[in-house]
């Protein structure tokens, strides 16, 4: 059987480096930046007031006290956006709003709270230091400076920076387009009545959600039955929408394992057995005229889920323009014993608690009660996969294990 590491590497090798695209700013949200962004101007672009108040010559206010305020004539108002603010000379001041350009001649702003708020003249009850409440030009970003480097995800803060330096569009690795297709004659769309022997289809919803959480744009095609022609035609029709296709079901040793049957004939998809549990039967390759990557996950829901986390996520990271590492791991103390088949690495669902009895205690992980690959109830609420190495068949409570942290949705 193939090792987990080898299969991770093989799936990753399918993925070519993504091509950058120029996207409108709002559409670039959640994409990975593909360029170095510099600022064409200084920020702020001009000296401006940090407060609502009065632009003054600081020297005028040296004698001001609460008992004997200094009274200054107000030459006018300077609102934010004023293109030609009235100048100030010693002995005069101007009423100024937050963000408004400093008038020439003034060297400080007195907050309105230090004054009587006068309109024609204003009384100021204390001295002010030079530069008070003035935001100097370039105090945030100097013209030409790098504000963002390539390789980071564009979140809310990065959006703000891009807009503030005047960008309307930006070069990014766009969100990969993921197509999800399940197979199985027994499947019924949730919301519709079940007949005998039928089950509600869950994999495509689960994998679509996981791929969306991983920053992808997802097309959930849903599912098709086990007819080879239909499976192949459906896949071919979906390729135009896909940077990667993920299927579930039909890849094991059964007589009706249709994905394996039709894609084996294509010759470009390889089906193997990986030394893990759940998730032994796996397939990967490239199909269609553009050699679109395809990963064929097993049909048991827990197998599909775990296989996605271990094999597909790194590939999606590479498609996004990110470093294709796997999920973060941690060490934790088992709260209950676990077992695992010899020769296969188990990934058991569990709940990781970082500091179970206050800050000092080591993290613990509690294995879910139902660990079979069809028992998907424990997927809800699980935040970690407990890793039991290939040669280990049992671990006692109190033992320390590696756990894979399941991703937090972005």
Interface with Mg ion by CB under 5 A: which residues? 184, 249-250, 299
Q: Does 185 bind ligand AMP (CB under 6 A)?
A: no
Q: What is the per-residue DSSP string for 210-253? A: HHHHTT-EEEEEEEE-S-HHHHHHHHHHHGGG-SEEEEES--SS
Please name the residues in contact with 157: beta carbons below 8 A apart, sequence gap of 6 or more.
none
Is residue 203 within the footprint of ligand AMP (CB under 6 A)?
yes
| Residue selected from 53, 101, 184, 314 as contacting ligand AMP according to rule CB under 6 A | 184
Backbone angles phi, psi at 251, to 5 degrees: -125, 10
Torsion of CA 105, 110, 116, 117, to 10 degrees: 70
- Residue list 275-314, contact with ligand AMP (CB under 6 A): 298-301
Within 144-227, residue ranges assigned H as helices are 156-164, 203-213
- Quick note: the x/- pattern for ligand AMP over 316-355, rule CB under 6 A, is ----------------------------------------
Q: Which one among 20, 215, 249, 293 touches ligand AMP, defined by CB under 6 A?
A: 249
31 binds, among Mg ion, ligand AMP, none (CB under 5 to 8 A by kind): none
CA 134-140-141 angle, 5° bins = 135
User: H or E element: which one contains 121?
Assistant: strand 121-124
Supply angle C-alpha 404, 405, 406, rounded to 5.
110
Which of 43/208 has CB closer to ligand AMP? 208
| Binding partner of residue 223 among ligand AMP, Mg ion, none, CB cut-off 5 to 8 Å per kind | ligand AMP
How many positions of this chain bind ligand AMP (CB under 6 A)?
21
Judged by beta carbon, residue 48 or residue 303, the one nearer Mg ion is: 303
Residue 160's contacts (CB-CB under 8 Å, 6 or more residues apart) are none
Question: Among residues 299 and 367, whose Cβ is nearest to Mg ion?
Answer: 299
Looking at the Cβ atoms of 110 and 207, the one nearer to ligand AMP is: 207
Q: Which is nearer to ligand AMP, 98 or 273 (CB)?
A: 273
- Answer left, alpha or beta for residue 193, where phi above 0 means left and psi between -120 and 50 means alpha: beta
> Rounded to an integer, what distance in angstroms lies between the CA atom of residue 391 and that of residue 3?
12
Judged by CB under 6 A, the residue of 98, 198, 252, 392 near ligand AMP is 252
Choose, by CB under 6 A, the member of 42, 98, 169, 202 that binds ligand AMP: 202
Q: Which is nearer to ligand AMP, 50 or 379 (CB)?
A: 379
CB of 251 to Mg ion, least distance (A): 9
Return the structure tokens found at 12: 């990753």
Task: Determine, following the binding rule CB under 6 A, whether residue 54 of this chain makes contact with ligand AMP.
Answer: no
In sequence order, the 6+-apart residues with CB closer than 8 A to the CB of 375 are: 302
Residue number with the shortest CB distance to ligand AMP? 299
Strand partners, 173: 32
The residue ranges that bind ligand AMP (CB under 6 A) are: 182, 184, 186-187, 199, 201-204, 223, 248-252, 254, 298-301, 374
């Amino acid at each position: 059987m193939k090792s987990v590491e080898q299969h991770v590497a093989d799936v990753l090798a399918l993925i070519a480096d993504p091509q950058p695209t120029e996207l409108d700013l709002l559409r670039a949200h959640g994409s990975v930046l593909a360029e170095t962004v510099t600022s064409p101007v200084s920020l702020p672009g001009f000296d401006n007031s940090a407060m609502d108040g009065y632009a003054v010559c600081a020297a005028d206010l040296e004698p001001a006290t609460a008992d004997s305020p200094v009274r200054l004539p107000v030459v006018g108002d300077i609102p934010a956006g004023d293109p030609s603010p009235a100048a100030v000379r010693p002995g005069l001041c101007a009423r100024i709003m937050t963000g408004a350009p400093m008038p020439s001649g003034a060297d400080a702003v007195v907050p309105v709270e230090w004054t009587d708020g006068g309109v024609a003249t204003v009384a100021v009850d204390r001295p002010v230091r030079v530069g008070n409440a003035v935001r100097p030009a370039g105090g945030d970003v100097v013209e030409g400076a790098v504000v963002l480097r390539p390789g980071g995800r564009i979140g809310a803060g990065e959006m703000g920076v891009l807009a503030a330096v005047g960008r309307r569009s930006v070069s990014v690795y766009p969100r990969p387009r993921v197509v999800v297709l399940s197979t199985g004659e027994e499947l019924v769309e949730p919301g519709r009545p079940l007949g005998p022997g039928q089950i509600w289809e869950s994999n495509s919803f689960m994998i679509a959600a996981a791929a969306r959480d991983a920053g992808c744009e997802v097309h959930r095609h849903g599912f098709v039955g086990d007819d080879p022609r239909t499976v192949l035609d459906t896949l071919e029709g979906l390729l135009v929408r896909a940077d990667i296709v993920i299927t579930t079901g039909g890849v094991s040793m059964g007589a009706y394992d249709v994905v394996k049957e039709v894609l084996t004939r294509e010759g470009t998809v390889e089906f193997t057995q990986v030394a893990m549990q759940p998730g032994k039967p796996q397939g990967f390759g490239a199909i269609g005229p553009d050699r679109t990557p395809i990963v064929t996950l097993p049909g048991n829901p827990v197998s599909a889920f775990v296989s996605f986390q271990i094999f597909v996520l790194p590939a999606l990271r590479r498609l996004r323009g990110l470093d294709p590492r796997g999920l973060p791991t941690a060490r934790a103390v088992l709260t209950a014993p676990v077992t695992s088949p010899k020769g296969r690495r188990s990934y058991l669902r569990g709940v990781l608690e970082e500091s179970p009895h206050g800050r000092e205690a080591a993290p613990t992980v509690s294995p879910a009660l139902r660990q079979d690959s069809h028992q998907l109830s424990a997927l809800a609420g699980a935040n970690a996969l407990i890793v039991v190495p290939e040669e280990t068949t049992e671990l006692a409570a109190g033992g320390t294990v590696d756990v894979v942290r399941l991703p937090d949705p972005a």
